[in-house]
Structure formats: C-alpha cells, structure tokens
Amino acid sequence: MVHIRNDSDRAAMHWYLDRMIRVLREPQPGGFLLGQHLAQMMLIEALRLYIADSVTAGVGWLLALADKQLSAAITAMHENPGYRWSLQDLAERAGMSRSIFAHRFKEKVGTSDRSLDAGVTRQPASAANSHLEPRNET
C-alpha cells in the first residue's frame, strides 16, 4: 500500500482509477488495450511515488534507482547484461571513485562490498531474481 500525501499526486491517481472504472464498466473497441496501458501507468506512478517517499528509508534495488549515479550503473548493467562488469566499470558509469561507489552501493542496495571488491557481473536471469554475483577471475 502506498500512502499518497501530495494532493496533486492523489488527484492523478484518482484520475487513473476513475478512468479504469469507466473503461471496465463501459466496454468499447480498444478498451482492453486501454485498460492494460492504464494499469501500467498506475503501476509506474505508484512506484515513482513509493521511491520519492522512501528514498531515505530502507535498502534495495528499487531505492538505488532513485540515486542518479547508481541508476546510471544499474541501467548500464541492464543494457548490456552479458558484459563482465567490474567494480571499476560500474564506478566509472556512476562518475564515482571505486571506494565511494562501493560504499554507496552497499548502503543503498544492501549488497556486501566484498562481492563488489571481487568484481561483479549481472548474470542473465529473470527480472525477479537478477542480481550481482562475484566474478571468477581465473
């Protein structure tokens, strides 16, 4: 559950809900597709509100995306999942030193900095369980 404190944000979510109710109650051509898009927009809006409200609390990948520098590194990993990302590569993408990147990454994502020190790579996996793992240097 997301508690929406801002009146304009609350009004926007009410608009999505009202529109979704009308689409479902008054079927018209294209209604199914419109309903899907409204649901996606509502989800994105709820996630954005959650991130904005939770930036100072907790850890996790979603909250790390709210950090512009970490987001640049995470985006790079998702754009090129087969690349063997090192700590240095990710720090450069974030525009940070290795030590500052490792500290902030651990602080925001909750991943041990030992796994970052060893070098990391994003293993191809489903979006639900993708994560950083130590890279074998042999």
Torsion of CA 22, 23, 24, 29, to 10 degrees: 140
Using CA atoms, how far residue 138 sits from 5, 67, 89, 119, 135, in Å, is: 52, 33, 19, 12, 9
State the average pLDDT over residues 67-78.
Answer: 90
* SS3 state of residue 89: helix
Summarize pLDDT for 104-128 with one digit per residue, the tens.
888 888 775 455 544 444 444 443 3
How many angstroms separate the CA atoms of 78 and 130, rounded? 10
How many angstroms separate the CA atoms of 64 and 78, rounded? 14
Question: In the prediction, which pLDDT does 46 show?
Answer: 86
pTM of the model as a whole: 0.50
Report domain extents, the chain: 7-54, 61-125
